[in-house]
């Protein structure tokens, strides 16, 4: 079955639906979703088994035309104005929440506000006031700090646009173990993104570092080199170079993996280095 992945925002949540209209990747389409008409972009099209992907209840109406795109641009401009008004209303209600962005659906049947907050917020009175001002359905969606960075965008420590706001559809788990695998500084300011959480890019190369680490002796292990036995005190995982302090020597020496003949186990037995 040919299905297509669509997103309502550039790096938003991915949705899958059958490609019954034979739409090409990169096209913009008008769809019916959650009782609203909206504009979406086709990210990719591929053949998948029916059980391989969960399809969303999305009805594709047509390929977007210039009128639809102009309407969407006008909605975007109006949503920015609505966001400023809504922020003033949040302050008037003394609510501990931060509105991030606002978005109209294409048919303007719904105005969606995304916000961050430390805990649960009772915004029922705010919703009623917003609905009376904007004369449409109001939806408030609480998001996390990673989602906030994804929606707002920005430049990461690497000097490039944030991965989450350019191509990452879904967030992947990132752990401090990944930073340790890559011998990175554990200083939070060096391994954290704009959101204050661990950088998503730590996960990109983690499998490669795990494989490289499995092929090398660990820190503190005893090995036999071409110059004699010693202990591993450092390593460069990607280049497969071990730093070994030879017995009876104070200065450590770098050896390629091919120059490490065997490693010595704690029991005194020897084994070939993987």
**Closest CA relative to residue 106, chosen from 139, 141, 134, 64:** 64
With a pLDDT cut of 90, the percent of the chain lying above it is 40
| CA atoms of 225 and 259, how far apart (whole Å) | 6
What's the token pair of residue 50? 């029916």
Span of 51-55, 72-76, 88-92, 251-255 with lowest mean pLDDT: 51-55
Name the pLDDT band for 271 (thresholds 50, 70, 90).
low
Number of domains in the chain: 4
Same domain, 162 and 133: no
Nearest to 140, CA basis, from 155, 119, 158, 124: 124
C-alpha 253/C-alpha 226 separation (Å) is 11
Q: Which residues contact 23 (CB under 8 A, 6 or more apart)?
A: 4, 29, 42, 45, 60, 63
Say yes or no: 33 and 97 in one domain: no
State yes or no: pLDDT of 153 exceeds 90: no
Pick the residue with more confidence: 13 or 266? 13
Domain span at residue 34 reads 2-64
- The answer to whether residues 174 and 138 belong to one domain is no
| CA distances in angstroms from 161 to 152, 191, 235, listed in the order given | 11, 16, 32
pLDDT digits (tens, 9 = 90+) for 176-213: 999 988 888 889 888 999 888 999 989 988 888 888 88
* Calpha distance 16→195 (Å, rounded): 28
Residue 108 within any structural domain of the chain = yes
Asked whether residue 175 falls in the same domain as residue 123, the answer is no
Q: Tell whether 154 and 132 lie within a shared domain.
A: no
**Within this chain, do residues 196 and 175 fall inside the same structural domain, yes or no?**
yes
Sheet holding 28-33, edge to edge: 15-18, 2-7, 36-47, 28-33, 59-63
What was the pLDDT predicted at 49?
81
- 99, part of any domain: yes
192 and 155 part of one domain: yes
Same structural domain for residues 9 and 56?
yes
Q: Quick one: 30 and 86 in the same domain?
A: no
Average pLDDT, the chain: 88
Q: What is the CATH number of the domain that holds 267?
A: 2.30.30.30
Would the pLDDT of 71 be above 90? yes
Shared domain for 190 and 236, answered yes or no, is no
Give domain status of residue 208, yes or no: no
Q: pTM to 2 decimals?
A: 0.75
Shared domain for 103 and 139, answered yes or no, is: yes
Mean pLDDT of 143-154: 89
**Among 37-41, 55-59, 183-187, 266-270, the least confident range:** 266-270
pLDDT band at 270 (very low <50, low <70, confident <90, very high): very low
Q: Of 143, 163, 181, which closes a domain?
A: 143
For the residues 205-234, what does the mean pLDDT come to?
86
């Amino acid at each position: 079955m040919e299905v297509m992945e669509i997103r309502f925002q550039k790096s938003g949540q991915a949705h899958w639906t059958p490609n019954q209209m034979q739409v090409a990747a990169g096209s913009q389409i008008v769809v019916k979703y959650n009782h609203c008409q909206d504009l979406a972009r086709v990210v990719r099209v591929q053949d998948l088994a029916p059980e391989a992907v969960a399809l969303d209840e999305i009805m594709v109406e047509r390929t977007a035309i210039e009128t639809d795109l102009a309407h969407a641009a006008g909605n975007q401009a109006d949503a920015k104005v609505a966001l400023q008004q809504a922020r003033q209303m949040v302050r008037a209600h003394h609510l501990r929440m931060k509105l991030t962005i606002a978005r109209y659906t294409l048919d303007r049947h719904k105005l969606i506000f995304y916000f961050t907050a430390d805990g649960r917020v009772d915004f029922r009175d705010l919703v009623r006031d917003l609905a009376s001002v904007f004369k449409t359905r109001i939806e408030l969606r609480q998001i996390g700090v990673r989602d906030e960075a994804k929606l707002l965008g920005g430049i990461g420590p690497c000097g490039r646009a944030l991965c989450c706001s350019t191509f990452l559809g879904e967030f992947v788990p990132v752990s401090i173990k990944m930073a340790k695998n890559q011998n990175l500084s554990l200083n939070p300011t060096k391994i954290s993104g704009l959101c204050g959480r661990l950088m998503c890019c730590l996960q990109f190369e983690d499998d490669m570092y795990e494989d490289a680490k499995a092929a090398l002796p660990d820190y503190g292990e005893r090995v036999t080199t071409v110059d004699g036995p010693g202990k591993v005190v450092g390593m460069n995982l990607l280049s497969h170079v071990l730093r070994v302090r030879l017995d009876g020597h104070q200065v450590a020496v770098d050896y390629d993996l091919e120059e490490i003949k065997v490693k010595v186990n704690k029991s005194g037995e020897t084994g070939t280095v993987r």
